[in-house]
Structure 1
Amino acid sequence: MTEVLLHVVRHAEPGYASDSEEPSAGLSARGRAQADALGARLRDRRVDAVLHGPLVRARETAERVAAAAGCTAVAETAHLDDRTPLPRDVTQAPEPYRRFVASATAAGGDEVDPDGVALDAAVAAFSAGGAARTVSLLLGDRPGADRPPGAPLRLVLVTHAFVVGWFVRHALDAPRWRWMGLNPSHASLTVLHLRDDVPANLLGFDDLGHLSPDLRSGVVVDRP
């Protein structure tokens, strides 16, 4: 049976020069510390590859996580780009979210993903049956080649908040609008266990155990 462990990560805190999300923004000093702490936590997980979206904040997070985790296999993929999977029919979302859907659709932008078509492709690319092929296309046969027989492929996917929410929504077979309200913090850890022909297991969501209180940001609800 093919097994994959996906460590799905929202990028670390960016250093925006204004209130707008600048695509060219790299990490803040706190963001760099967050990424280093996450990589240190993953060091004993024997990560096979760290993959990231094309924006600078995702790339810098991935590079620092990989360095601290001792992983040399790092690659960029458009599957992990910033996406907002908005339903074309606003009535598919519950009433409390319809104003957000309408305003985000009207604002447009490259990240708008009507009906989540691009994110469906991302989920398929990193499914139990597709992940090894995706990694091979990005990095060749090197990542994970020395895994013990039967050991899962262990991947870190550095992406964006709504993408993390979509992966979780899909894993739980929840309604397609239900990524809304799933709000991971910067450099938090979400883990999915995938196997062929078996429903996915959500092993953890928005885990901040590697971050001290002063390193936490993008947090919706404070916690111990």
Structure 2
Amino acid sequence: MTATHATRYLYLTRHGEATPDEGGLTPTGRRQAALLGQRLRNVPLSAIHHGPLPRAAETARLIGDRLDGVPAHVCEPAGDYVPYTPHRDELPADSADFLLDFVHGFPADERAGGPLLARIAEECFTGPVEGPEDRHELVVTHNFLIGWLVRAALDAAKWRWLGLNQCNAALTVIRYPPPGRPPSVLFSNDMAHLPAPLRWTGYPPELRITS
């Protein structure tokens, strides 16, 4: 008998603005998380997955406080790590030095363990779901994993997670339909739920635009 598959809707967000020591959220970060929770109130989420670091856990808790009984689960693959370290010959020649310097600026253990965690994250969070019912899940994570999963959904080169930056508490949604159709990125770095003073935190200043 052929297995039945349904669509997965994966909601991704970077944690709210963190304190300088990254031990939790700033007042701005807490407000960002609360507003995202309000935006998601009418989404039929089945679960919230979040990384183990305090800034992600606090964000997930504040989002969950605005939802009705959605269970939250701590998950190491939703954590903060380098998902892939490219080789020089994979990169555009004019930006290879810049990109490699950036990646190698992170601790060696984050780079060594990251690819396995990224692979587990893809296995856990992406692709269609078995059974007849669509599934909506939220992952509260960090900048790099969101870039990695967007890159994968677009079938882009592995190094292209670099440069896909996420604002604090912005929303990205990827749709994974049943087999035979490709994923779709429905939203990317969407800040519609945040008022102007709460937008663009966590984003490189040179990449910000006004609207």
State the TM-score, normalizing by the size of structure 1.
0.81
Match of 1:158 among 123, 132, 140: 140
Match of 2:91 among 71, 93, 97: 93
Q: Does 1:7 align with 2:11?
A: yes
Structure 1 position 105, deviation (Å): 2.4
Q: Does 1:222 align with 2:209?
A: yes
Structure 1 position 180, deviation (Å): 1.0
SS at match of 1:155: strand
Match of 2:172 among 157, 182, 190: 190
- CA deviations 1:50-102 (Å, max 9, x no partner) are 11001000000011111113243001001101011343523222231433324
Pick closer, same or farther for the CA change 1:107–1:38 going to 2, 3 Å: closer
Deviates more, 1:200-209 or 1:61-70: 61-70
Whether contact under 8 Å (2:173, 2:186) holds in the other structure is yes
Whether contact under 8 Å (2:84, 2:158) holds in the other structure is no
The residue type paired with residue 64 of structure 1 is L
- CA deviations 1:176-218 (Å, max 9, x no partner) are 1111111010000000111232211110100000000111212
Give matches, 1:1-224, under 5 Å: 1-17=5-21, 22=22, 25-95=23-93, 96-105=95-104, 107-113=106-112, 116-129=115-128, 150-197=132-179, 198-216=181-199, 217-219=201-203, 220-224=207-211
Gap runs ≥5 in structure 2 = none
Whether contact under 8 Å (2:86, 2:158) holds in the other structure is no
- Number of equivalent positions: 201
Gap runs ≥5 in structure 1 = 133-148
Structure 1 position 127, deviation (Å): 2.2
Whether contact under 8 Å (2:6, 2:134) holds in the other structure is yes
The residue type paired with residue 164 of structure 1 is I
Whether contact under 8 Å (1:3, 1:194) holds in the other structure is yes
RMSD: 2.1
SS at match of 1:69: coil
Q: Distance in 1 between matches of 2:116 and 2:92?
A: 20
- CA deviations 1:94-121 (Å, max 9, x no partner) are 2314333245326524322578342122
- CA deviations 1:118-169 (Å, max 9, x no partner) are 212211211235x67xxxxxxxxxxxxxxxx944211000000011000000
Structure 1 position 36, deviation (Å): 0.2
Identity %: 31
Whether contact under 8 Å (1:85, 1:115) holds in the other structure is yes
State the TM-score, normalizing by the size of structure 2.
0.86
Structure 1 position 3, deviation (Å): 1.3
The residue type paired with residue 111 of structure 1 is E
Pick closer, same or farther for the CA change 1:222–1:113 going to 2, 3 Å: farther
Whether contact under 8 Å (1:87, 1:93) holds in the other structure is no
